[in-house]
Amino acid sequence: MEVAVLLILLVLALLSIAAFEMPRLIKNKWWRELVVFLILWLLASTLAVLQFLDIKIPAPMELLKKLTAILPPQN
């Protein structure tokens, strides 16, 4: 299969997850849960597509090291 076809299948799978989960959250008016779901879904979808495209993703620990270097030391 071509890479484009596989990418389309991945995106369709990700969209089907959202289509399956979101109506229940909206019907029950679980707005906070919907926001959390959307944030996590967007993060996971982005990471899945980036990994599929063989784009290097920095390790989360490196980001934490950079953030802690910026923060002032705690006593």
User: pLDDT tens across 5-56, in order?
Assistant: 999 999 999 999 999 999 999 999 999 999 999 999 999 999 999 999 999 9
- Is 55 domain-assigned? yes
State how far the Cα of 18 lies from the Cα of 24, in Å rounded to an integer. 11
Range of the domain at 36: 3-70
> How many structural domains is the chain composed of?
1
- Is 32 domain-assigned? yes
State how far the Cα of 41 lies from the Cα of 25, in Å rounded to an integer. 14
- Is 46 domain-assigned? yes
Q: What is the pLDDT of residue 15?
A: 97
Reported confidence tier of residue 67, pLDDT bands at 50, 70, 90:
confident
The CB density around residue 18, as the number of other CB atoms within 10 Å, is: 14
**DSSP symbol at 55:** -
- Is 41 domain-assigned? yes
- Is 75 domain-assigned? no
- Is 19 domain-assigned? yes
Q: Where are the alpha helices (DSSP H) in the chain?
A: 3-27, 31-52, 60-70
